[in-house]
Structure 1
């Protein structure tokens, strides 16, 4: 099983036009990006050309726009995005990138998000860069993005508010929590636009993972640097997972102002909409307030449903999410006969190791309740029945699962999660 990864090698920083160039050079159809940007109805044009940077061939995204003095707010930019012929996911990604920029500008200037004027990043070329990048990132079709540490650059820049040391304040704000890298180049290597694109999509910053490379895209920066090739490299490839491993997502949110009944109800609703698991951990929050962290484990397709449930049922203002891989035991459904009736369960095993048997809670609880006995007695009886079954059949390893995927036999699907200890 392979996970398709896009890795940004930002040894010379990152900007909007470098991202666009790298995406096209890595294989995205430039016409799709050009048509999407043209559908915004803005004056100007986007085209791509092959250039050389530091002796290396790369693709340069050329954005040509007329000079303007407009200072746009976030709602103006969102209206422009909504006019374009983009998919819902592409529009959503473009808006998330601009939101990242707007929140950084608001913190830097001590203002409210709704009042922030987008200066340089609200210009026509930046809008085209971001919308084009959102389309290209979507069309690339990777499962996850990773990136190297990011060099912001050295020296000074002249911005709308005068001379400013690098990194620019908005860039520094956006790169909070991101490992930075040094560079001898005396110029701005990473722009606010590049930083916002990167931090919106990248899930991990670090060295190049052990990928099988499919393609490498080089996106050219505008400036020629004497010290190094001014390019952004984008590696596309796959990372293989073991056959018994898969990739799921963890969503987390911290709460300190909800009654316990609401927290418990929320975990029930999360399971009802498809969580693999949902659990609560006591935590100590700021100002020494006791609180809880709700954690949810789910497949990627279930993330919107999980987040909708958390935002609806709790007072949270934000949800963290990150992918994890899990190593699962091979599993097979089984049923044993006990003095209290049939009890379903699962066998789990690793190759060449004895299997473990886990009775289904629902069956055990139903038997205990109907007979008026302790739950643990039913569990003990189920385990004893399994041992007797194994001894009678003389097996030391489980029967291979049925031909259909999962090997659950006739066990209903809703029994999948209570004993899924592989989470």
Structure 2
């Protein structure tokens, strides 16, 4: 089991803030420089300096470029550089995932084909280095689990290659789908596409800080220094323990008995419940009073989403009363590893057990999408993804 890294995005996130925070929390600067040489790109140099943002001191990493290296990069060019590099396969794969996310976001935000996207929002080599450097940093620090707070995306407007845009910009708005965001502080952009794409690709859990015993705290700064505002990214790094207490959180257990609902509507009800952020939904057949067959509909939800779940149950079913109970839940630490298959990439959810053991399961929806595109059985895709993960884990052990 590797280290646990938690991102505290109270002032957003960007690529250079992430790189600075990793160096500040303990990433050896010399190891980072040597790791980036494996990219096989010349014409840039890293510079480290200490800066102050309001009341906080932080590390700022600058990528100093040679003249003529500021042209936008295409996705094809980025993939070519990564393929020719001497980076580890894991960093190559993670880097491709980040840039694929960015390309998809730019494509949707600006209505252009994904293949024609040029990364104006990560337009120059310094942002490219920020992304790859951050992933190298996580590898050097042996990070196996990444969690994050809700992300402060800022407000107001920003100047971009496309003109004046609202903050958060269109690409960040797309990348932020499905994760908790909010706006606070000075009216300016606080979260960049680079930072949010990195966060989406690394993080498995968003929300309040989970249980951890940090060994170090780091602060990373970007270029912006708004007056009176601590514009930094804070990270907490916890090293693996021989035996860590399992995490415990609180969930709401919601349950109701139904015996007069058209069974055809259950699929719709379940879909609506998951759209309202239900953690789990089950339908259990039972025999109710006077021998009538019925269904016990059970939902688990985070406390913040319990009211939305109750609204669905009262609107969509015949329930007149619902049983609600807040309960404790123990959970295993989880992370995602992406494996590449013919036809696309598949995320594999990896849960940590005691003694460094793990158990893993490919994400069904990723496998389903590949099956639909290729016409192959989804069962085969699931098996291939599991095999690819086991092979990548075995290769990593061999290299160690």
TM-score, scaled to structure 1:
0.58
C-alpha distance in 1, partners of 2:187/2:217? 27
C-alpha distance in 2, partners of 1:211/1:28? 19
C-alpha distance in 1, partners of 2:191/2:240? 28
DSSP 3-state at the match of 1:63: strand
Q: Which residue is 1:113 aligned to?
A: 114
**Residues 46, 64 of structure 2: 8 Å contact kept:** yes
How many residue pairs match? The answer is 276
DSSP 3-state at the match of 2:182: coil
Q: Which residue is 1:415 aligned to?
A: none
Larger RCO (alpha carbons 8 Å, 6+ apart)? 2
Q: CA deviation at 1:216?
A: 0.7
4+ residue segments displaced more than 3 Å: 238-246, 282-286, 298-304, 316-327
- Deviation per CA, 1:69-126: give whole Å up to 9, x if none: 6332211011122333311111111111111101111111223221212223131111
DSSP 3-state at the match of 2:143: coil
**Residues 25, 218 of structure 2: 8 Å contact kept:** yes
C-alpha distance in 2, partners of 1:160/1:301? 35
C-alpha distance in 2, partners of 1:112/1:118? 13
Q: Which runs of 5+ in 2 are unaligned?
A: 248-265, 272-331, 355-400
The 5-angstrom pairing of residues 355-370 of structure 1 reads none
C-alpha distance in 2, partners of 1:50/1:240? 31
Q: Which residue is 1:64 aligned to?
A: 64
C-alpha distance in 2, partners of 1:300/1:51? 34
**Residues 211, 239 of structure 1: 8 Å contact kept:** no
The 5-angstrom pairing of residues 223-234 of structure 1 reads 223-234=224-235
The 5-angstrom pairing of residues 75-114 of structure 1 reads 75-114=76-115
Q: Which residue is 2:48 aligned to?
A: 48
Greater alpha carbon shift after TM alignment, 148-157 vs 34-43: 34-43
Q: CA deviation at 1:326?
A: 8.2
C-alpha distance in 2, partners of 1:15/1:300? 24
Q: CA deviation at 1:160?
A: 1.1
**Residues 333, 351 of structure 2: 8 Å contact kept:** no
**Residues 53, 232 of structure 2: 8 Å contact kept:** yes
The structure having more radius of gyration, on CA atoms, is 1
Greater alpha carbon shift after TM alignment, 318-327 vs 61-70: 318-327
Structure 2 vs 1, CA of residues 58 and 137 (structure 1 numbering), >3 Å: closer, same or farther?
same
DSSP 3-state at the match of 1:59: strand
C-alpha distance in 2, partners of 1:152/1:244? 33
Q: Which residue is 2:220 aligned to?
A: 219
Q: CA deviation at 1:46?
A: 1.4
Q: CA RMSD in A?
A: 3.6
Q: Which runs of 5+ in 1 are unaligned?
A: 247-281, 287-297, 328-423
DSSP 3-state at the match of 1:117: coil
Q: CA deviation at 1:58?
A: 1.3
**Residues 185, 225 of structure 1: 8 Å contact kept:** yes
**Residues 38, 45 of structure 1: 8 Å contact kept:** no
TM-score, scaled to structure 2:
0.61
Structure 2 vs 1, CA of residues 239 and 180 (structure 1 numbering), >3 Å: closer, same or farther?
farther
C-alpha distance in 2, partners of 1:220/1:154? 19
- Deviation per CA, 1:52-72: give whole Å up to 9, x if none: 222322111011123556332
DSSP 3-state at the match of 2:223: coil
- Deviation per CA, 1:21-76: give whole Å up to 9, x if none: 11111111111222233443242211212222223221110111235563322110
- Deviation per CA, 1:312-332: give whole Å up to 9, x if none: 7xxx977565455789xxxxx
